[in-house]
Structure formats: structure tokens, C-alpha cells
Amino acid sequence: MSTQEVTTLPVRWFEHGGSEALSQSPLFLCCGGQMELMSDEHTGPMSHPRGQALVEIEFLTRLVFASGAGNLRWTCVYPAYPAHLPLMSRLFPSVRFYAYGAQDGAGGLYDPADPASRPAPYRPAQCDANVTAVCQGFDSETARQLGGRGRAWEDRLCLLMTERHTPTRQFMFHSLVRPSYSLLSVTGLIPEEYLSGDLYFPLYTPVGSSLVHLVARGHYGARLYYPLWLRDELAYFQILVRCGTDYDARAEAHIIGSYMRAAWGRDDQAQCEWVRDALPAE
């Protein structure tokens, strides 16, 4: 799909009153008036590597190229190494990335919490010079040390977290590091009292996934989330917005197009295809 075919942004954040619309949905009624979302006890992944990478591109595009942000140099910390790190380092050459993980015998970096990452670990040579591989796990002490680096660091630091860490650990890391922004990926529905921020829908998730992305600011406190409202919003998204549509493909085209316009000032179809090919497989 050409980025020029996408003229409006697909719904990316929670804004609908899901209950009223759901009550009129034939699919919802055929399901007995309910939708079972995966709980936090679900053992399989609720996210998708391609969707996670796209959400991070969307997040950093807004952060790095925001109006008035041109003079800021951002540092992004991955508490768990992502397989798409080489792509991120090339898309955002002005950003300094730090990725934490365990080191194998051949000098590669992998996420010890994700056995699937070990057969094809990250090799530092695959990335540009703006990536620093930190060969250790990321824990509360590491987060506390990052949080103590002073205001100059805090002003341009962001955390990029995935569902590999529980909502409680992501909350803890954010609170200890005190970054300017964090991108959290929370499953099993957000706890009733959690970090304040903007909620975004996921991409390429399994049907019924309860994954949501939360963009939280460092100086914001906690807020109350209403579980029934969140369930309605996710059901609205999965049933009425995403099911039977090309939502994921349209959102992908819009995110890549938005990046191209912000970074290059225009849609470059050859570059767009390069980004699509470099993303994790669907």
C-alpha cells in the first residue's frame, strides 16, 4: 500500500465510547454479547515483533521530530534487547540507543528472558555507531543508577519497554529511572491504579490480545483506570475497528509515511519499501 493512499490517520488511541457501538455490533451479539480478552495468565506472546517495532517508530517520530525538539538529543534505553534494534538505529541516527541483555560466547547480545532471541542474537556490528550494547541484565539497581545521572540526562531520556517485563516491573523501572517519557507495553489490562499517560492500540496482535501501549511522562503521577471501560475500548477496537479490515496495513503505511515526511520532508517510496522489508516479518 502506498503511503499516498492513506489520507487520514487510522484510529491509534483510545477515544471511543465503546459500549454503545458494541451493543449494535452483529459480531458482538453473535458472540453472546461478550468478548473474551486474553488474561495476564495467557502464556503466549500478546504482541507481535512487527507491531512493536512500528509502535516504537511512531513514538520516536513524534518525540524526535516534534516542533521545537530539534535541538534536543535523545537517549533511548531498552531494558531488554529488541531484534529490530539495527532498524531503529538507522531510522534515528541522532538518537543514542542503549540495549541491555546477556552476552553469548560469540559476543552476541540476547534477551535472557526471551529464549527465542538466542539463536539469532544481536551483533554490535549490525548496528550503527549510535548503539551501545550493555552486556548485563536490567534490574532495579540498574534503573536506580540511571535515575541518578542528573537533570541533564533526564531531560532527554526515554525508556522503551515490552511485555517481556510485567506491568509492575515496567512501573518500577519508570519510577526509578524518571525519564522524560516511557513507552510501556502492558498486557492483561492495565492495573486499576497505574501511570498516567496516553493509551495507544497495538498492531498485528493476536485476536483477543489485551495488549495496550502507554506513553507516560516522567513527572506525571498515577491515575485510576476503569477496567470495564478499558475492556470495552479494546473490544471496540478488536471487533469493530480491526476485525475484517486492513487496519494494520493502513496504520503501518501511515506510520512509515509520517516518519518519511518528518525525517526527509517527503514520501520516498523506495525508502518506504526499504523500511517495510527491514521490519520483522508479519
The string of pLDDT tens digits covering residues 133-159 is: 888 888 899 999 888 765 445 458 899
User: pTM (2 decimals)?
Assistant: 0.81
pLDDT, the chain, mean: 75
Residue 109 pLDDT level (bands cut at 50, 70, 90): low
DSSP per-residue letters across 220-273:
--EEE--HHHHHHHHHIIIIIIITTS-HHHHHHHHHHHHHHHHHHSS--HHHHH
Helix 247-264 crosses helix 49-64 at what angle (to 10 degrees)?
A: 30
The parent domain of residue 226 ranges over: 3-278
Q: Is 122:133 a contact under the CB 8 Å cutoff?
A: yes
The string of pLDDT tens digits covering residues 267-281 is: 888 889 999 999 998
Query: By C-alpha distance, which of 218, 64, 76 is closest to 161?
Result: 76
Burial of 201 (0-12, 13-18, 19+ CB in 10 A): buried
Rounded alpha-carbon distances, angstroms, from residue 39 to 50, 132, 133, 155, 210: 22, 35, 33, 35, 7
Backbone angles phi, psi at 203, to 5 degrees: -130, 145
The total of structural domains in the chain comes to 1
Q: b/e string for 168-194 if b means 16 or more Cβ within 10 A?
A: ebbbbbbbbbbbbbbbbbbbbbbbeeb
Classify residue 5 by its DSSP letter: G
Q: Is 207:38 a contact under the CB 8 Å cutoff?
A: no
CATH number of the domain encompassing residue 259: 3.40.50.150
Residue 14 pLDDT level (bands cut at 50, 70, 90): low
Residue 218, pLDDT > 90, answer no
| C-alpha–C-alpha distance, residues 195 and 99, integer Å | 23
Residue 105 pLDDT level (bands cut at 50, 70, 90): low
Angle made by CA atoms 14, 22, 41, in degrees to the nearest 5: 65
Residue 177, pLDDT > 60, answer yes
